[in-house]
């Protein structure tokens, strides 16, 4: 999607001269970057300029933040770091499900906000950052290190939303000392429902059984295969349920956030933020109010593999929100949420197990004003997870991407914190034909569980 109509927005009044000079500078830098571009996100070790040894990664992290990378001592090395960084106590985590359920209920009831005494109550112009977490603690450590280095993080509230209970993750989260923190726990996880819905009930139909056969053997969900004829797979449903639950929880239920009128940013455990992400978010928000009143969602990340970070550091694109492109580092406020939540049945009953495709379905088929995004061309949120929650690859332990992101941000450092943003309207390509969902969400029990999360 190339940029068509273009508009310049300046924070302070400036002259056309500076605008022109700026544009010329962009061109020069653009060309230079083309020559010495940074390749990002492709296969690991073929780029010798990236030293991805643990020592190199650590050398890029301020010493005071090494504690967040410190694994607790276990047999051998954990997360590639040796004993010298392992000075925290070791908790033997052997909870049974009863314990876990009790602890989760307690956390969700108490709603303890850590560090509120140090950083004061949440202001309505503070940024709330909601982080969806499963179990990939190594990535989470690096996300926390990146958050710790962000300007104005001390005014933010981090909401860690867990669907996997683990004491090592808990103590990591509770060790965050640079801003307010609250933990919430998705209460319908597979971990706490291993042999019953929403986990896998032994009476459920196998994924590939034919419907007539399913009806014959009378398995639980025989009537509800997805639009491709497959039956539910519990592990693929959890992320969408968790996503919907946490957004409802934050906007409508949590005491600390349920009256918050400002921005809420959504991250995942394998994201990594630039140090100006809050600054940019505020600048984008302000720019929207002045120059793009139909913008109702912000996006801090894109999935480009190679990009001209330098020229793009202050560019934003105005575009209809597209799930596959703009689902990373998304932010919106209660106004947008109130519209989305009115369309909960479109989200919860759409036969697609992806939350972002479901949100796109909501946008296209239900919202009065479709989701329209302001997207940072120079990403402020990066994806460092080589391996998804379900898609394990050979190199899952690899930290090559972390190293690359560190290098990219280091070389982009002086381009961060731009004074103003340059707006580009994306050329709207021919309307892509409406897609069928990806399936995996045909089971009426999932629809019902999801809908139930909205009733506060």
Ligand X SMILES: *[C@@H]1O[C@H](CO)[C@@H](O)[C@H](O)[C@H]1NC(C)=O
Residue ranges at the known binding site for substrate: 132-136, 163, 238-242
Asked if 2 interacts with ligand X (CB under 6 A), we say no
Of residues 3, 54, 111, 154, which one binds ligand X by CB under 6 A? 54
Spatial distance between the Cα atoms of 449 and 260, rounded to a whole number of angstroms:
26
* Burial category of 314 from C-beta neighbours within 10 Å (exposed 0-12, middle 13-18, buried 19 and up): buried
Of residues 82, 195, 324, 411, which one binds ligand X by CB under 6 A? 82
**Residue number with CB closer to ligand X (34 or 82):** 82
Of residues 13, 16, 46, 335, which one binds ligand X by CB under 6 A? 335
* Angle formed at CA 329 by CA 455 and CA 293, multiple of 5 degrees: 80
Task: Point out the annotated binding site for Mn(2+).
Answer: 270, 383
**Residue number with CB closer to ligand X (127 or 450):** 127
- Nearest one of 118, 133, 131 to 179, comparing CA atoms: 118
**Residue number with CB closer to ligand X (46 or 96):** 96
Of residues 3, 51, 252, 454, which one binds ligand X by CB under 6 A? 51
Spatial distance between the Cα atoms of 164 and 146, rounded to a whole number of angstroms:
22
**Residue number with CB closer to ligand X (133 or 156):** 156
> Rounded to 5 degrees, what are φ and ψ at 344?
-60, -35
Task: For the chain, report the end-to-end CA distance as a whole number of angstroms.
Answer: 40
**Residue number with CB closer to ligand X (296 or 302):** 296
Asked if 56 interacts with ligand X (CB under 6 A), we say yes
**Three-state DSSP class for residue 123:** coil
Asked if 99 interacts with ligand X (CB under 6 A), we say yes
Q: Which stretch binds ligand X (CB under 6 A): 169-177, 236-244, 254-262, 400-408?
A: 254-262
Q: Which of residues 287-326 bind ligand X (CB under 6 A)?
A: 289, 296
Of residues 117, 212, 255, 394, which one binds ligand X by CB under 6 A? 255
Reading the block at residue 243, the tokens are: 């996503």
Task: Point out the annotated binding site.
Answer: 132-136, 163, 238-242, 270, 383
Buried-exposed string 121-156: b where 16+ CB fall within 10 A, e elsewhere:
ebeeebbbbbbbbbebbbbbbbbbbbbbbbebbebb
Q: How far is the CB of 294 from ligand X (least distance, A)?
A: 8
**Residue number with CB closer to ligand X (221 or 336):** 336
> Rounded to 5 degrees, what are φ and ψ at 272?
-145, 130
Asked if 46 interacts with ligand X (CB under 6 A), we say no
* Burial category of 21 from C-beta neighbours within 10 Å (exposed 0-12, middle 13-18, buried 19 and up): exposed
Q: How far is the CB of 341 from ligand X (least distance, A)?
A: 14
Q: What Cα–Cα distance (Å) separates residue 25 from each residue in 18, 21, 303, 409, 420?
A: 10, 6, 25, 20, 15
* Residue 145, H or E segment: helix 137-148
> Rounded to 5 degrees, what are φ and ψ at 277?
-65, -35
Q: Which stretch binds ligand X (CB under 6 A): 74-82, 156-164, 380-388, 391-399?
A: 74-82
Q: Which stretch binds ligand X (CB under 6 A): 101-109, 332-340, 345-353, 408-416?
A: 332-340
**Residue number with CB closer to ligand X (209 or 423):** 423
Size of the site for ligand X (CB under 6 A): 21
Chain residues in the site for ligand X (CB under 6 A): 51, 53-56, 59, 75, 77, 82, 96, 98-99, 124, 255, 259, 261, 289, 296, 333, 335-336
């Amino acid at each position: 999607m190339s940029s068509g109509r273009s508009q310049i927005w300046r924070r302070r009044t400036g002259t056309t001269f500076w605008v022109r000079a700026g544009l010329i500078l962009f061109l020069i830098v653009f060309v230079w970057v083309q020559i010495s571009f940074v390749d990002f996100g492709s296969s690991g070790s073929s780029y010798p300029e990236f030293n991805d040894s643990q020592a190199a990664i650590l050398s890029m992290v301020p010493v005071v933040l090494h504690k967040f990378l410190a694994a607790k001592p276990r047999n051998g090395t954990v997360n590639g770091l040796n004993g010298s960084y392992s000075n925290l106590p070791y908790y033997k985590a052997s909870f049974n499900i009863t314990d876990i359920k009790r602890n989760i209920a307690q956390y969700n009831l108490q709603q303890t906000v850590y560090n509120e005494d140090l950083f004061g109550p949440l202001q309505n112009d503070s940024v709330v950052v909601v982080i969806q977490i499963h179990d990939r603690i190594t990535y989470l450590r690096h996300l926390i290190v990146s958050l710790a280095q962000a300007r104005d993080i001390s005014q933010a509230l981090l909401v860690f939303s867990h669907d996997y209970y683990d004491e090592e993750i808990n103590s990591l989260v509770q060790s965050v000392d640079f801003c307010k923190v609250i933990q919430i726990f998705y209460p319908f996880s597979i971990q706490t429902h291993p042999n019953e819905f929403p986990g896998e009930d032994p009476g459920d139909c196998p994924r590939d059984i034919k419907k007539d056969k399913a009806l014959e053997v009378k398995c639980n969900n025989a009537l509800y295969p997805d639009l491709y004829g497959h039956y539910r797979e519990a592990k693929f449903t959890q992320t969408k349920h968790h996503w919907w639950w946490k957004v409802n929880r934050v906007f409508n239920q949590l005491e600390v956030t349920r009256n918050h009128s400002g921005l809420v940013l959504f991250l995942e455990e394998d994201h990594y933020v630039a140090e100006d992400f809050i600054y940019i978010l505020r600048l984008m928000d302000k720019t929207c109010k002045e120059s793009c009143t139909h913008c109702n969602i912000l996006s801090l990340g894109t999935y480009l593999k190679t990009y001209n970070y330098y020229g793009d550091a202050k560019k934003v694109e105005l575009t209809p929100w597209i799930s596959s492109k703009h689902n990373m580092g998304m932010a919106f406020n209660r106004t947008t949420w109130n519209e989305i939540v009115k369309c909960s049945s479109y989200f919860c009953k759409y036969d697609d197990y992806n939350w972002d495709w479901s949100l796109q379905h909501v946008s296209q088929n239900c919202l009065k004003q479709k989701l329209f995004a302001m997207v940072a061309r120079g990403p402020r949120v990066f994806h460092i997870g080589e391996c998804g929650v379900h898609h394990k690859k050979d190199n899952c332990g690899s930290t090559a991407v972390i190293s690359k992101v560190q290098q990219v941000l280091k070389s982009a450092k002086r381009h961060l914190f731009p004074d103003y943003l340059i707006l580009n309207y994306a050329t709207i390509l021919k309307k892509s034909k409406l897609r069928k969902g990806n399936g995996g969400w045909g089971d009426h029990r999932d629809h019902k569980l999801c809908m139930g999360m909205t009733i506060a």
